[in-house]
């Protein structure tokens, strides 16, 4: 998940809740229980419902090394997670990240989603080949076209990658509502295995058409931006977690948005981004215990809108 801007997340969580947010509720997760899973509709393969977005952690490799992303991956795997979403970054950073992904205790336990994000057929293929080389893998679990960049050009390439066994699943991503219409048209025309879309207790427009369509067509859904790249924490800063959140075993503001998302059964996995393994653990805990029903979800939306 993306952490709060200009503040330490743990201090922030404690300040908004008044007491230890991470442990104050009666519901407790047992030590290292396995993350709940949901199936990929096309194959029934099971995936953990909380995954890792790697952008921030990989960008920090240049200044801080690989320890942070390694620790976050270890925390995820300790709960039976290990789904990692990536995007091409400078070659030197992806080379370091590739070495992390190929650690003996990581390599065969990860579900790795990669992207193409450059225009041009040859350029897109070259970017994919570079990712294969830097990550030391011939095949990836999921290959996506990021933000629908040059979609019609790249989609035949992704289908060829899948046919050749270089991609197990293929799809496309968006992170802004202005691309929803284009994504909807693409889904109807090409029926991808996966889509990735921004969705949260604040940004829930995807519920109107995209998520029902994905459910109808049997398309797996990854969620990005569950905390709006940190803006969510700015929004709720200074506010206490409502007492009624305990009705669905919610222990923190981070879990408040994650539980809202996970209560939609169409969602396959939520991508959370952090460089702190304890924050990753807090995110993971959102998948345990009760989830809000529709009446509670409406109350959650109203509460956030009224802050």
Q: What are phi and psi of 44, to 5 degrees?
A: 70, 10
pLDDT at 240 over 70: yes
| Residue (of 214, 224, 226, 234) closest to 260 by Cα position | 226
Burial class (CB in 10 A: 0-12, 13-18, 19+), 221: buried
Tokens coding 127:
């970017």
Strand-pair category, 46-48 with 50-53? unpaired
Q: What is the pTM of this model?
A: 0.90
Q: What is the pLDDT of residues 196-214, one digit of tens each?
A: 999 999 999 999 999 999 9
Tokens coding 167:
């991609």
Residue with tokens 């807090």: 282
At 240, is the secondary structure helix, strand, or coil?
coil
Tokens coding 264:
């939609």
Residue with tokens 């046919």: 163
Tokens coding 201:
């207790």
Give the length of the chain.
307
DSSP label of 81 = -
Question: Could you report how far apart the first and last alpha carbons of the chain are, in Å?
Answer: 22
Fold of 9-21+37-306: TIM Barrel (3.20.20)
Q: What is the pLDDT of residues 144-199, one digit of tens each?
A: 999 999 999 999 999 999 999 999 999 999 999 999 999 999 999 999 999 999 99
Domain spans, the chain = 9-21+37-306
Which residues, listed in sequence order, are joined to residue 116 by a DSSP beta bridge? 145
Q: What is the pLDDT of residues 120-151, one digit of tens each?
A: 999 999 999 999 999 999 999 999 999 999 99
């Amino acid at each position: 998940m993306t952490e709060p801007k200009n503040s330490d997340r743990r201090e922030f969580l404690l300040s908004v809740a008044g007491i230890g947010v991470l442990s104050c509720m009666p519901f407790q997760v047992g030590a290292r229980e396995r993350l709940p899973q949901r199936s990929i509709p096309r194959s029934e393969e099971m995936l953990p419902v909380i995954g890792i977005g790697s952008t921030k952690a990989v960008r920090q490799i240049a200044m801080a090394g690989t320890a942070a992303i390694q620790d976050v991956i270890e925390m995820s795997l300790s709960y039976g997670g290990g789904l990692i979403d990536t995007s091409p970054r400078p070659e030197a950073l992806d080379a370091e990240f590739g070495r992390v992904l190929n650690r003996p205790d990581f390599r065969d336990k990860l579900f790795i989603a990669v992207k193409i994000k450059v225009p041009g057929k040859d350029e897109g293929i070259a970017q994919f080949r570079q990712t294969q080389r830097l990550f030391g893998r011939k095949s990836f679990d999921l290959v996506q076209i990021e933000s629908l960049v040059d979609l019609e050009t790249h989609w035949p390439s992704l289908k060829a990658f899948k046919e050749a066994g270089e991609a197990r699943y293929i799809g496309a991503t968006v992170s802004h509502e202005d691309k929803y219409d284009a994504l909807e048209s693409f889904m109807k025309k090409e029926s991808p295995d996966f889509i990735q879309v921004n969705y949260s207790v604040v940004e829930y427009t995807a519920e109107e058409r995209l998520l029902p369509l994905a459910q109808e067509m049997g398309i797996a859904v990854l969620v990005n931006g569950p905390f709006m790249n940190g803006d969510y924490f700015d929004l709720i800063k200074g506010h206490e977690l409502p007492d009624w959140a305990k009705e669905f075993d919610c222990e923190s503001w981070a879990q408040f948005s994650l539980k809202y998302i996970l209560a939609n059964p169409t969602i396959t996995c939520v991508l959370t981004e952090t460089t702190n393994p304890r924050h990753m653990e807090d995110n993971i805990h959102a998948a345990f215990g009760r989830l809000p029903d529709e009446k509670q979800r409406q109350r959650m939306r109203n509460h956030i809108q009224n802050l």
